[in-house]
Chains A and B, each alone.
Chain A
Amino acid sequence: MAQKTTIWKITSLLLGLGLLAMIMYGCPSQTGMLDTGDAAQRVYVAPGEYDEYYAFLSGGYSGQLSVWGLPSARMFRNIPVFSQDPESGYGYSEETKPLLMTSYGFIPWDDSHHPDFSHTDGMPDGRWIFINGNNTPRVARIDLTTFETVEILELPNTGGNHASTFVTENTEYIIGATRFSIPYEKDKDVPIDSYKENFDGSLSFIAVDPESGEMSMDFQIIMPPYHYDLGRAGKGKSADWVFFTTYNTEQAHTLLEIYASEFDKDYVVAVNWKKARDYVREGRARTVPANYYHNLKDKNTSIAVSTVHDEVLLLDPEDAPDMIYFLPTPKSPHGVDIDPTGEYIVAGGKLATVIPVHSFSRMLEAIENEAFEEVINGIPVLEYEATIIGEVENPGLGPLHTEFDGDGNAYTSVYISSEIVKWSLETFEVLDRIDSYYSIGHLMITGGDTPNPDRKYMIGLTKTSRDRFLPTGPKQLHPAQLYDISGDRMELLLDFPTIGEPHYAQAIRADKIRDNVKQIYDLDENQHPHAVKRPRDARVVRDGDIVRVYMTNIRSHFTPDNIEGIRVGDEVHFHLTNIEQDWDMVHGFAIKGAHSGEVLIAPGETKTTVWRPQRPGIYPFYCTAFCSALHQEMQGYVRVSPAGSDVPLTWRTGEE
Chain B
Amino acid sequence: MQQLTRILLLLILALVYTGCGNGEGDDQRTDTREAEPELTEFELEHGIGPVTERLDIGDLNVERARRGADIFDRRCTACHRMGRRFVGPPLGEVTEMRSPEFLINFILNPEEMTNRHPVGQELLQDYMTIMPYQNVTKEQAIEIVDFLRYYAETGEDLRD
Given contacts A15-B12, A534-B73, A29 and B20 within 8 Å (CB-CB): yes
Which stretch from A323-331, A438-446, A469-477, A555-563 is at the chain B interface?
Answer: A555-563
Proximity bits, A26-44, B CB within 8 Å = 1, else 0: 0111100000000000000
B16 x A15 contact (CB < 8 A): yes
A19 x B87 contact (CB < 8 A): no
Interfacial chain B residues near A12, Cβ < 8 Å: 9
Does B78 touch A at the CB level, under 8 Å? yes
Given contacts A29-B20, A534-B74, A557-B87, A581 and B133 within 8 Å (CB-CB): yes
Tell me the A518-536 residues at the B interface (CB within 8 Å): 520, 523, 533-536
Interfacial chain B residues near A580, Cβ < 8 Å: 132, 134
B15 and chain A: residue at smallest CB distance: A18
Does A394 touch B at the CB level, under 8 Å? no
Number of interface residues of B (CB under 8 A): 27
Proximity bits, B131-155, A CB within 8 Å = 1, else 0: 0111110000000000000000000
Chain A facing B: main interface SS: mixed
A585 to B6, CA, bound (A): 66
Does A582 touch B at the CB level, under 8 Å? yes
Tell me how far the C-beta of B73 lies from the nearest C-beta in chain A, rounded to whole angstroms: 5
Does B44 touch A at the CB level, under 8 Å? no
B9 x A629 contact (CB < 8 A): no
Does B86 touch A at the CB level, under 8 Å? yes
A22 and chain B: residue at smallest CB distance: B16
Interfacial chain A residues near B21, Cβ < 8 Å: 29
B132 x A29 contact (CB < 8 A): no
Does A191 touch B at the CB level, under 8 Å? no
B130 x A629 contact (CB < 8 A): yes
Interfacial chain B residues near A11, Cβ < 8 Å: 9-10, 13
Tell me how far the C-beta of A146 lies from the nearest C-beta in chain B, rounded to whole angstroms: 17
Interfacial chain A residues near B132, Cβ < 8 Å: 554-555, 580-582, 585
B22 x A630 contact (CB < 8 A): no
Tell me the A477-522 residues at the B interface (CB within 8 Å): 520
Proximity bits, B1-29, A CB within 8 Å = 1, else 0: 00000100110110011011110000000
A556 x B129 contact (CB < 8 A): yes
Tell me the A76-117 residues at the B interface (CB within 8 Å): none
B77 x A534 contact (CB < 8 A): yes
Interfacial chain A residues near B10, Cβ < 8 Å: 11
Tell me the A4-23 residues at the B interface (CB within 8 Å): 8, 11-12, 14-15, 18-19, 22
A629 x B128 contact (CB < 8 A): yes
Tell me how far the C-beta of B128 lies from the nearest C-beta in chain A, rounded to whole angstroms: 6
B22 x A557 contact (CB < 8 A): no
B9 and chain A: residue at smallest CB distance: A15
B130 x A536 contact (CB < 8 A): no
B129 x A523 contact (CB < 8 A): no
Tell me how far the C-beta of A6 lies from the nearest C-beta in chain B, rounded to whole angstroms: 14
Does B54 touch A at the CB level, under 8 Å? no
Does A644 touch B at the CB level, under 8 Å? no
B9 x A630 contact (CB < 8 A): no
Proximity bits, A544-562, B CB within 8 Å = 1, else 0: 0000000010111101000
Interfacial chain B residues near A30, Cβ < 8 Å: 20
| Among A8, A12, A556, A585, residue most surrounded by chain B Cβ atoms (within 10 Å) | A556
A479 to B12, CA, bound (A): 45
Does B98 touch A at the CB level, under 8 Å? no
Given contacts A29-B22, A557-B87, A18 and B74 within 8 Å (CB-CB): no
A604 and chain B: residue at smallest CB distance: B135
The one of A27, A28, A552, A582 that contacts B78, using a Cβ cutoff of 8 Å = A552
Does A628 touch B at the CB level, under 8 Å? yes
Give 6 new A-B contacts, CB below 8 A, not counting A15-B16, A18-B16, A630-B128.
Answer: A18-B17, A520-B135, A534-B73, A557-B87, A581-B134, A628-B130
Q: Which 3 A-B pairs have CB atoms at the shortest separation, nearest pair first?
A: A581-B135, A27-B20, A18-B16
- Residues of A near any B CB (own CB < 8 A): 8, 11-12, 14-15, 18-19, 22, 27-30, 520, 523, 533-536, 552, 554-557, 559, 579-582, 585, 628-630, 654
Q: List 25 A-B contacts (CB under 8 A).
A: A8-B6, A11-B13, A14-B17, A15-B12, A18-B16, A18-B17, A22-B16, A27-B19, A30-B20, A533-B74, A534-B73, A534-B74, A554-B132, A555-B132, A579-B78, A580-B132, A580-B134, A581-B75, A581-B132, A581-B133, A581-B134, A582-B132, A582-B134, A628-B129, A630-B129
